[in-house]
Amino acid sequence: MSGQQASISCDVLCIGGGSTGVGIARDAAMRGLSTVLVERGDLATGTTGRFHGLLHSGGRYVVKDPAAARECAEENIVLRRIAADCIEDTGGLFVATPADDPAYGDRFLAGCRASGVPVEEITVGEALRREPRLNPGIRRAFLVPDASVDSWKTVWATVRSAQAHAARILAHHRVESLLVTDRQVSGALVVDRAGQRTRIEARMVVNATGAWAGKIAAMAGARVNVRPGKGIMIAMNHRLVNTVLNRCTMPADGDILVPIRTVSVIGTTDVEVADPDDWAITAQEVQQMLQAGEMLVPGFRSARALRAWGGVRPLYQPEGEATGSRDITRTHTLLDHASRDGIGGLLTITGGKFCTYRLMAEQTVDAVCTALGENRACRTAEEVLPDSTEHKHYWLGARLAAREATRNSDQLVCECELVPRSRLLKVLEKHSTTDLDDLRRLLRIGMGPCQGGFCMLRAAGVVHEAVGADAATSVASLRTFAAERRKGVAPLLHGDQLRQAALDEWILHGVLDIDHAMAES
């Protein structure tokens, strides 16, 4: 571990590299504030990278949480304008299944109109024409502007915009402590993976760590009551539907099916956990999700379940309130610790949805400017993110079309996600990481049916050759990637997925002996 300590000074230090954090970094940098963002792991590895990919229309909340519904409806329009390339315009359907009360549809319609959510009731026949696999027993159907969104793509586009405005993004930098003197926060001490410490002095520190917000606030002596709510999701092997399907009822477990890229994702549960870093996916939750899928698409259980994963919602609840996690508002909360706790120089932003990350950032940076005595206007709702300047939504066939043009000249590294060697090399040039799991988030490599069983070997070889890494480092990266992929497959080991997992294990352990390769003697 290095004994030297680097030092950085800035106007704004943002802690947390999820969608809200990078949104804050972009907004602050665009307003001319010198900005540094730190994240303990790779960007979007927390809640942002662990949800079902739904860009909310607001429909889900129009009855139970109209404030959240209105925010989602307004920001849905903004994101379609500034981040079109990250969004597939699937549209959404709210349907009353045979288990749902069709009269709820009237409350739903009224809520949509009151919250500004565009809605149209269509006939059951029209709904079934649009989605032939949809439960034929549905009794009502409503169209809303739901969509699917690639959270990693959105985060990286936001980061590129932030960096273009001189923001510094420090991934894999863990906050060791906040700098606090006389109840005034003036920065943080962070440490990277190599053990190098950096002292970051800032005029204002923003805690945008979501479900971990309480832990960071505690470093300054403040208390933030975040109740982490675990939700699990399951990706099915192909797109069972092409429209986001929601059950037209009060929000519950397993009532959303999202077509995203080449898969369909069923979600989600809502279980409070004590620690956002310590929880598990149970067999009961997996069965619950698979059975819930049957209500929307009969025969859902017979499809191949590809992967299970979970995320932890940052549900903020004021001190003294005691309600179930489903009853906590999905709107966000901005805490000024100077007025709230007598601790200056620190703001906490928590709660909210991915759909509202830009709005959350705007309101946070507004508060930063107020605290600093600055008058700087927000421009993030108007300035388009990189790759979205043509205002064209993501098209599912884009990668296949690109592949057709180079099919005889560019080696495929990942067949499932159509990632060619040239694209992997390009990403390696742009980003400092050689971690295979980081590259997965950038390229979606290893996210297809084989879950990396074939492409992880090729990718490891390309990275090893391109960066000149030593053999031990490359093998260790491959071993770690395989272990991470195994976590999401383990709860689903039956049928075709069990056969695929067995093949992957035989290749890695029986042929390559990955557990002992390059082992120290």
Number of domains in the chain: 2
Cα separation, 260 vs 500, whole angstroms: 22
Q: Quick one: 125 and 249 in the same domain?
A: yes
Mean pLDDT of 85-102: 97
136, pLDDT greater than 90: yes
Average pLDDT score over the chain: 92
Residue at 3 is within a domain: no
Contact (CB, 8 A) for 273 and 228: yes
pLDDT at 330: 67
C-alpha of 442 from chain center = 12
Q: Do 278 and 404 lie in a common domain?
A: no
**DSSP helix/strand/coil, 152:** helix
Is the peptide bond between 323 and the residue preceding it cis, with omega within 30 degrees of 0? no
- Residue 147 to residue 215: CA distance in whole angstroms: 33
Domain residues for the domain of 453 are 398-511
Domain boundary among 313, 333, 357: 313
Closest to 252 (Cα-Cα) out of 228, 269, 235? 269
Quickly count: other Cβ atoms within 10 Å of residue 477's Cβ.
22
In a domain, 120, yes or no: yes
> What pLDDT band is residue 474 in, cutting at 50, 70 and 90?
confident
Percent with pLDDT over 90 in the chain: 74
pLDDT for 521 equals: 33
- Supply the pLDDT for residue 323: 62
Instruction: Give the relative orientation of helices 455-467 and 471-489 as an angle to the nearest 10 degrees.
Output: 150
Decide if 19 is inside a domain. no
**Mean pLDDT for the stretch of residues 378-393:** 96
pLDDT at residue 309 is higher than 50: yes
Of 255, 289, 313, which one is at a domain's C-terminal end?
Answer: 313
Do residues 292 and 437 both lie within one domain?
no
Return the pLDDT at 292.
95
Q: Is residue 273 part of a domain?
A: yes
What does the pLDDT read at residue 146? 98
Is residue 423 over pLDDT 90?
Answer: yes
Residues 264 and 116 in one domain: yes
Q: Is residue 492 part of a domain?
A: yes
Whole-number pLDDT of residue 470: 82
What are the CA-CA distances from residue 40 to residues 209, 281, 386, 513 (Å)?
A: 10, 23, 25, 31
CATH number for 255: 3.30.9.10
pLDDT of the residue at 67: 93
Instruction: Please determine, for residue 461, whether its predicted confidence score (pLDDT) is greater than 80.
Output: yes
Pairing of strands 140-144, 263-267: unpaired
Residue after which a domain boundary falls, among 259, 284, 313: 313
- Segment 31-60 shows an average pLDDT of 95
Q: Which whole number is the average pLDDT over 263-290? A: 93
More confident residue, 382 or 472: 382
180 - beta bridge partners?
185
- pLDDT at position 349 over 80: yes
In this prediction, residue 450 carries a pLDDT of 86
Average pLDDT over residues 181-194: 96
Q: What pLDDT does residue 495 have?
A: 85
pLDDT at 140 over 60: yes
Which pLDDT belongs to residue 324? 57
Same domain, 249 and 136: yes
On the question of pLDDT at 326 being above 60, the answer is no
Strand-pair partners of 312: 230
- Measured distance CA(232)–CA(266) in Å, rounded: 9
- Mean pLDDT on 390-416: 90
Count of Cβ atoms closer than 10 Å to residue 302 Cβ:
9
Residue 307 structure tokens: 């992967």
In a domain, 249, yes or no: yes
Element (H, E) at 256: strand 256-260
Distances (CA, A) of 149 to 48, 211, 377: 11, 21, 27
Could you tell me if 134 and 239 lie in one domain? yes
pTM score of the predicted model: 0.92
244-247 and 92-96: which strand pairing? parallel
Using DSSP's 3-state secondary structure scheme, residue 471 falls into helix
212-232: pLDDT as tens digits: 999 999 999 999 999 889 999
Residues 6+ apart with CB under 8 A from 318: 225
Taking each helix axis from N to C terminus, what angle separates 436-443 and 151-164, rounded to the nearest 10 degrees? 100
Residues 305, 437: one domain?
A: no
For residue 336, count CB atoms less than 10 angstroms from its CB and return exposed for 0-12, middle for 13-18, buried for 19 or more.
middle
* CB-based burial label for 384 (10 Å; 0-12, 13-18, 19+): middle
pLDDT at 195: 95
Residue 121 domain-assigned? yes
Q: Report how far residue 317's alpha carbon sits from residue 319's, in angstroms, rounded to the nearest whole number.
A: 6
Residue 434 in domain: yes
